[in-house]
Structure 1
């Protein structure tokens, strides 16, 4: 390997955070196990190697056919998330991704069919000399040959079609995609989603498209293949698709009694949504709960995408602003404006540091001074609702966040989203007067339509 390049020679040793990608003659060429048969474009493969801290082993993964340009498989941030997501089953310090070169053509609609995937065992055998050459020297201790498993990637996508790729001044490159999702056992849903390149695994927004399919409806999937993305219109204002957004909405059940009182007096509960994305949360609480909603988004291009592709419509009771949301919370608190008396502040902000993995909210949002400012602009019976993804590298973050919320607010509630990543924390300004199970007001009834059983999964901590 030294004859190839000094950089590749350095792969004899683990170096946490090192990322190397290079071309290599395709050992699968003209073989039945080759999943990347693209005529003259499959003579070489792209091999990407990422090291991670620890003393784990080495594994490899074949990039799913047609998805080699997907940011999950073509960027360092996506590669890191793949590595971290395997840690519960495989203790890895090096993950090798093998797929077509990024210059290889990609289909307009990617068909992700599990049945069509080749048996990975023959591919593993032909790739094994390369994989062993990419193992660190320490893996050969005791003159043993290391085991380098070939992992497979599975998700619930049946079809993927890119609608638009655009770049914003704050979030960078982003993609709007139409997808067919396997909602086994009986339903296929067509959805539109928004992803950011800096965190490719994190779906920023996901909404249903106008048509739902019965599983096995090959005719409609064929139409998807023929038309591609962008042909159907999004459904807005109904039940949310993303489980964590359902849980955030369910957090309003804690203050449902107070919101009902506002409605009975002829008013509208005011909600500040920190982070807009595609606007699905804003549209649901505006239409479903008749709230007065103000959204703050750091990137104006994201708002343009939300309006043009996700059905975000501004009106008298739904307004959006471009700016730094955390700074705006501080400004509102300092100005003491009479119209910033919010029933809820709903924070859906992820960290901008993709190299730490997916995490939310930003560390700045957990500072006591920011939380105090948020409390000052809440109604006396209001609540702060936070989407939380604890950083994988910082096991103390969640505990410390709970401690500071307990210090600043009166009561604290938790909703476990159940996906192994997200938690929703609800911090109230005042004691909660009613028991959720005994509440039957109109707000809670509508919440159950939007958020399902998440309204019953709220626990006090």
Structure 2
């Protein structure tokens, strides 16, 4: 069925169309063309832009799904229609090749750009042509990916399709940098978990490559996700109390709501000596975390994080659990949680909205009774730490107000990536009688995160 070119004369918010055409540069191949109109109706003349998909990355969810396409469009301010052009994958978007290697496409893309100008004109609204002048800017897609290999694809009950991939990224140092990622199809432009990986055996550097004979293992000694380091840095606010725990022969307790690949949980346990408990909605995600991301020796409950906190805060529920009633409930696996309250609760939960992208925390979490429940299961000097990706300033201001209504003090760390903030709420004021040189925990913390963000904690 032929495509009516009149279809593209006007912008229709959120309309998404894709089709194939012969490749003018490689006649034996086909090009996939995807056209997406912004969900936001333009108030002035609509601006059209085009983006060429890096060769061999066409199956990546960023480029092959409507939601990935939408996030590309929304990350380009002022664009009303985005045209995506890439080689057509014969076997469909989810049958990606095992490996991707960065290559120079400049000449190929330039040839395509010149050949496709008439197509760009045909796919643009009539009002895009001003005074007889027509121009479609070509957007650049750049990231630090050198090569990648997909290790496995799985599907979870709640997160749906996900994949695990090993990658090599560009590095500022002479040392090569290898990572392992967990990604969800429902949030194609977001890396859910990223950790450093190292070769299991010593190899000559030029022999080490992703997808080759070298096997890699997780390195849980470092955090590479940008917002996890400031979340850990928040522990400096109660460093003296944590030090006191250790001096008494006790381990501080951390509750992590949202596990993912488990990088944060593993770091707290192996590098800082915490007793760690986690809550994760999807059991398949936990399986992936244990198989590929080094999550081990940590108690994790499969369930809803909000429900879990509410049950912890309920004295009647606690009595039922400790007495052994309600058999079969996953919360029974955490019976020893009730021996003491938590010294820190760390929240790394998000949701995905088609228009606004990722929001953290989910709107359901920003309720007074949930924050009150969380406060009730914290120790007298405990802190509540939350990764925040606010969709609007109003959302963020509302969240701050809710925290200030319930907690004694509130602090903020700007992660510096233009997206994430870390909010830290204290149950009570804590003054440290120890200097940092006398506090072994603070010294260990500074070494573990290389001192980053320790001096950027701001009281609100």
TM score, norm. by length of structure 2:
0.88
1:267-346 counterparts in 2 under 5 A?
267-314=250-297, 318-335=298-315, 337=318, 338-339=338-339, 341-346=341-346
Q: Find out whether 1:233 has 2:233 as its counterpart.
A: no
The CA distance in 2 between the partners of 1:440 and 1:197, in whole Å, is: 48
Residue in 2 that maps onto 1:118? 107
TM-aligned CA distance change 1:218 to 1:14, over 3 Å: farther
8 Å CA contact 1:284, 1:450 repeated in 2: no
Pair 372,106 (structure 1): closer, same or farther in 2 beyond 3 Å: closer
Q: CA deviation at 1:116?
A: 5.1
Shift of 1:195: 0.4
Deviations 1:148-191 (A, max 9, x none): 11112111111110000000000000000000011224232111
What are the within-5 Å matches in structure 2 for residues 175-254 of structure 1?
175-211=163-199, 218-221=206-209, 224-227=210-213, 231-236=215-220, 238-254=221-237
Q: Show the counterpart of 1:35.
A: none
Kept in 2: contact 1:436–1:456 (CA 8 A): no
SS in 1 for 2:393: coil
CA contact (8 A) 1:247 1:415 kept: yes
**Secondary structure, aligned partner of 2:346:** strand
Contact 2:60–2:96 at 8 Å: present in 1 too?
no
Q: Given the alignment, which residue of 381, 392, 395 partners 2:393?
A: 395
Once the 2 structures are TM-superposed, how far is the Cα of residue 263 of structure 1 from its aligned partner?
1.7
Q: How many residue pairs get matched?
A: 430
Aligned to 1:68: 58
User: Any idea what the Cα deviations from partners look like across 1:410-439, whole Å, max 9, x if unmatched?
Assistant: 111111111111111111111232499857
Question: Comparing 273-282 with 365-374, which one deviates more in the overlay?
Answer: 365-374
* Matched-pair contact (CA < 8 Å) for 2:54–2:105: no
Does the C-alpha gap of structure 1 residues 384 and 29 become closer, same or farther in structure 2, counting only changes over 3 Å? Answer: same
Are 2:452 and 1:458 equivalent residues in the alignment? Answer: no
Does 432-441 or 66-75 show the bigger shift?
432-441
- Work out the CA distance in 2 between the residues paired with 1:412 and 1:418: 19
| Greater displacement, 54-63 / 164-173 | 54-63
346-355 vs 201-210, which moves further: 346-355
CA distance in 2, matches of 1:351, 1:121: 38
Q: 1:328 to 1:397 in 2, by over 3 A?
A: same
Shift of 1:83: 1.5
What's the offset of the Cα at 1:54? 4.4
CA contact (8 A) 1:289 1:447 kept: yes
Take 2:163 and 2:374, find their aligned partners in 1: how far apart are those partners? Answer: 32
Does 1:92 find its partner at 2:79?
yes
Structure-2 residue corresponding to 1:417: 415
- 1:193 deviation in Å? 0.8
Whole-angstrom distance in 2 between the partners of 1:345 and 1:323: 16
Q: Is the 8 A contact 2:348 2:386 kept in 1?
A: yes
Shift of residue 103 of structure 1?
2.4
Q: Deviations over 1:67-102 (max 9, x none)?
A: 111011111121122112222xxx211111111223
State the superposition RMSD in angstroms: 2.4
Change (3 A) 1:354 1:297: farther
Measured in 2, the distance between the counterparts of 1:259 and 1:112 equals: 46
Partner SS state of residue 136, structure 2: coil
Q: Does 1:137 align with 2:126?
A: yes
What displacement does 1:226 show?
3.4
For residue 376 of structure 1, report the CA deviation from its aligned partner: 0.9
3-state SS of 2:188 partner: strand
1:78 and 2:76 matched: no
Deviates further, 182-191 or 321-330: 182-191
Deviation sequence 1:300-340 (CA, Å, 0-9, x none): 000000011111112xxx20010000111111111374436
Shift of 1:203: 1.1
Between the aligned partners of 1:18 and 1:185, the Cα distance in structure 2 is 44
Q: Distance in 1 between matches of 2:353 and 2:85?
A: 25
| Structure 1 counterpart SS, 2:62 | helix
Distance 1:154 1:319 in 2: 39
**Structure 2 residue ranges without an equivalent (≥5):** 319-337
**C-alpha separation in 2, matches of 1:355 and 1:168:** 24
Describe how 1:18-37 pairs up with structure 2 within 5 A. 18-30=15-27
CA distance in 1, matches of 2:434, 2:84: 48
Shift of 1:257: 1.6
Residues 436, 443 of structure 2: 8 Å contact kept? no
Q: Which moved more, 1:196-205 or 1:253-262?
A: 253-262
Following superposition, the deviation at residue 119 of structure 1 comes to 6.0
Alpha-carbon displacement from aligned partner over 1:355-410 (angstroms, at most 9, x marks no partner): 4312211011111121111111111111111111112xx33211211111111111
